[in-house]
Structure 1
Amino acid sequence: MALFPASGNTPVSTFIPEIWAAELMVPLQEELVLASPVCVNNDYEGDIRAPGDQVHINSLNRPTVVTYSRNADVNAQLLDTDEMILAIDHGKAFAFAVDDVDRVQSASGSDLIYKATEESIQALRVAADSYVGSRMVAGALTANKKTFTVGTDDVFDTLVDYGVILDNVDVPLRKRFAVVKPEIKAAMLKHDRFIASSYGSEIPIQNGVIGSLAGFTIAVTPHLPTDVEMIVGSPVATTWGQNLLSLESFRHPTKFAHVVRGLHVAGAKVTRPEALVIASVAP
């Protein structure tokens, strides 16, 4: 299904905003890295409707296992939970106007609006990834903030060591990830144990994933937080909820122009900090 009308067809004033908004979530989700299912879960996304909403997360405390002896009584333990709040405190909006003269003079007015909206969506993606990265850094354990050196063998050994950290706190082996900056990716690609995910195939790279190394799915983005070159962990560590609340088009009230604007809200919280490792290059 096309996201927008074909060139020269229906003008933007006749778009159905509800359908348009639903479709535009697809390219945003496919391009996310830190805020994608590779790195986060949306188990508690809830019904997000506005900035300032809160999602209540009840975390189950693990029942105690006791030693059993024949004919001994086993007393039932009352289950207990801890409550955490996922605050929807990330709100980003865009709005632009396309003058009627510019729309007519362009190759296609619909194409011009499409391209401007596409660029706005990419800006939302960058903002979302940057937001999730900052939450991961803030929520990780101090003991899990590490430094490493860069080199073909160094990055492999580093991932092996970080895997041990996750092993010791029972983080599942499945779906472990390492998100790195492009400079670190270059060293990983040179390692003979790196397994490329889609080079030489017709499968598109999604969510920045380029392959695997040392048991980790490797993804790349230049939008890691300042002074952080690698974030390693599991999607169980961070929960993420988002909603593209509004995407609408209307005539400008005082100009001969179309206005397009959108509002994206989200929240992220590290619920299992032991399942993250934040790494910087050693000075």
Structure 2
Amino acid sequence: MSVKNFIPTVWSARLLANLDKAFVYPNAVNRDYEGEISQFGDTVKINQMGNVTVSDFTGVLADPEELTSSQILLTIDQRKSFNFKVEDVDKAQSNVSLIDKGMTRASVAVADVLDQYLATFISQATIKVGTSAIPIAITISNAYDTLVDLGVALNKKNVSKTGRFVIVPPEFVGLLQKDPRFTLHPDVLVSGVSGVVANFEIRESNNVPVSAGKYSIMAGTTEAISFAGQVTEVEAYRPEKGFSDAIKGLYVYGCKVVQPDTMACLTATFA
């Protein structure tokens, strides 16, 4: 029977590779704890150390203080599946093009769901530029300057200047491209990175959250959000009805805002 020749690890590897190519928001988070999960329902306990007090020295040391810590729980509470048919698994194994077509489509679908899921965590950002009541109206004349102001807001909170990003909708990128200060360095890349402004790596996404015409634009560093995902099941089987072999898989994941002070939300509108 052709199903017995199926190699699940090959398919798992292809799924992860394709997902990585499609990611936008997941590339703006850290995956420090991804290796510690294996199935749906797993919980990772993340320890966060408290501050150390510094006091004047008068010749005699005060009693040592006890270090404190708090725990943040990252729970793998999300799961998505895929399930599609192929004419014959033996032929699919030797036909890389056929495998890629099916797995790419599954990857794109899951990636889009993950993108939209991670984008919602912008609501937990501590740094605010503009509000829902008074959003920033982005125009050709102020798009560039707004990013500069956004950078200043992060600087005031001592957010690291290394690895800063901002995820904007296509409208924002279009306005920037009409500003000569931006077009002096037109290094638009296939990966979705559309240049650098005010130390922000600009990333374009169609999944920027929008409500009533008001966009919630995420900016900051990967320190803000921890994400963990894992392909836990990939299996070939013979559907009871029909004469095709089929492939099904399960992807589990979870996310947690661990340092909201390193994330900013720019609430903006476009004419």
Q: How has the CA–CA distance of structure 1 residues 135 and 229 changed in structure 2, closer, same or farther, with 3 Å as cutoff? A: closer
Segment drifting more, 211-220 vs 91-100: 91-100
Q: Cα distance, 1:46 vs. partner?
A: 4.3
Q: How has the CA–CA distance of structure 1 residues 277 and 158 changed in structure 2, closer, same or farther, with 3 Å as cutoff? A: same
Letter in 1 for 2:206: P
Question: 1:111-260 alignment to 2 at 5 Å?
Answer: 111-137=97-123, 139-141=124-126, 143=128, 146=131, 147-194=135-182, 195-198=185-188, 205-206=190-191, 208-227=192-211, 228-260=215-247
Q: Which residue of 1 aligns with 2:56?
A: 67
Q: How has the CA–CA distance of structure 1 residues 143 and 212 changed in structure 2, closer, same or farther, with 3 Å as cutoff? A: closer
Alignment check: 8 A CA contact 2:25 2:119 kept: yes
Letter in 2 for 1:41: N
Q: Cα distance, 1:129 vs. partner?
A: 0.8
Q: Cα distance, 1:236 vs. partner?
A: 0.9
Distance 2:37 2:251 in 1: 11
Question: 1:266-277 alignment to 2 at 5 Å?
Answer: 266-277=253-264
Aligned-residue Cα RMSD (Å) equals 2.6
Distance 1:197 1:279 in 2: 24
Q: Cα distance, 1:47 vs. partner?
A: 2.1
Distance 1:28 1:63 in 2: 41
Question: 1:36-47 alignment to 2 at 5 Å?
Answer: 36=27, 39-47=28-36
Alignment check: 8 A CA contact 1:51 1:91 kept: yes
Matched, 1:265 2:252: yes
Matched, 1:83 2:67: no
Alignment check: 8 A CA contact 2:216 2:267 kept: yes
Alignment check: 8 A CA contact 1:13 1:250 kept: no
Q: How has the CA–CA distance of structure 1 residues 143 and 213 changed in structure 2, closer, same or farther, with 3 Å as cutoff? A: closer
Q: Kindly, what percent of the aligned residue pairs are identical?
A: 29
Q: How has the CA–CA distance of structure 1 residues 210 and 14 changed in structure 2, closer, same or farther, with 3 Å as cutoff? A: farther
Distance 2:78 2:177 in 1: 34
Distance 1:74 1:144 in 2: 42
Query: How many residues get paired?
Result: 259
Distance 2:125 2:238 in 1: 47
Q: How has the CA–CA distance of structure 1 residues 273 and 144 changed in structure 2, closer, same or farther, with 3 Å as cutoff? A: farther
Distance 2:264 2:116 in 1: 17
Please report the TM-score for the alignment, with normalisation by the length of structure 2.
0.85
Alignment check: 8 A CA contact 1:176 1:232 kept: yes
In structure 2, the residue corresponding to 1:256 is in which secondary structure?
A: coil
Q: Which residue of 2 aligns with 1:35?
A: 26
Q: Cα distance, 1:281 vs. partner?
A: 2.3
What does the per-residue CA deviation read over 1:73-123, in whole Å, with 9 as the maximum and x for residues that have no partner? 1432211111111121221111012356xx99xxx9763443122111001
Unaligned runs of at least 5 residues, structure 1: 1-10, 200-204
Distance 2:180 2:218 in 1: 22
Q: Cα distance, 1:22 vs. partner?
A: 2.5
Please report the TM-score for the alignment, with normalisation by the length of structure 1.
0.82
Alignment check: 8 A CA contact 1:92 1:264 kept: yes
